[in-house]
Amino acid sequence: MTPDADDHACEPPAANPYARTRVVGGFVVVEVVGEIDLATAEFILEHLDAATGRPCPDVLVDLRGVEFIDCSGLRVLCRGETRAREHGGRLRLVSDGPHVLRLLRGAGLLKRLPPLPALPGEGRT
């Protein structure tokens, strides 16, 4: 990858059927919907790579619209979290879904990726 290509990695990619990136407050929010599996992981990865490619990223991955996630999805989330840390920032998950909690717990990732129930500053109903 050339330095020019890496510079473009920080620009948010266009929304796709599975992910979109937006800024909420001081956070970059990657909103994911549908399924995160082998077929969709690359669509989500492009958003996470762009969000975590800048210095000191503060990224929230909103998984509240995710119906299914498998090991491909966990791999993408772990890669994003590692990349954020390597750039001096952090990546956190937002999910209130029991299926996400069960998967994170079963994979031993609950301490590494503890989900928030809502976006910071967002009122809970």
Q: Are residues 49 and 38 in contact, defined by beta-carbon separation less than 8 angstroms?
A: no
Distance CA(4)–CA(8), nearest Å, equals 7
**Mean of the per-residue pLDDT values of the chain:** 90
Per-residue model confidence as pLDDT tens digits over 35-76: 999 999 999 999 999 999 999 999 999 999 999 999 999 999
**Which tokens is 33 given?**
């919907």
What is residue 8's predicted lDDT score, i.e. its pLDDT? 46
Residue 21 has pLDDT above 90, yes or no: yes
Return the ∠ at Cα 38 (arms to 21 and 96), rounded to 5°. 55
User: pTM to 2 decimals?
Assistant: 0.88
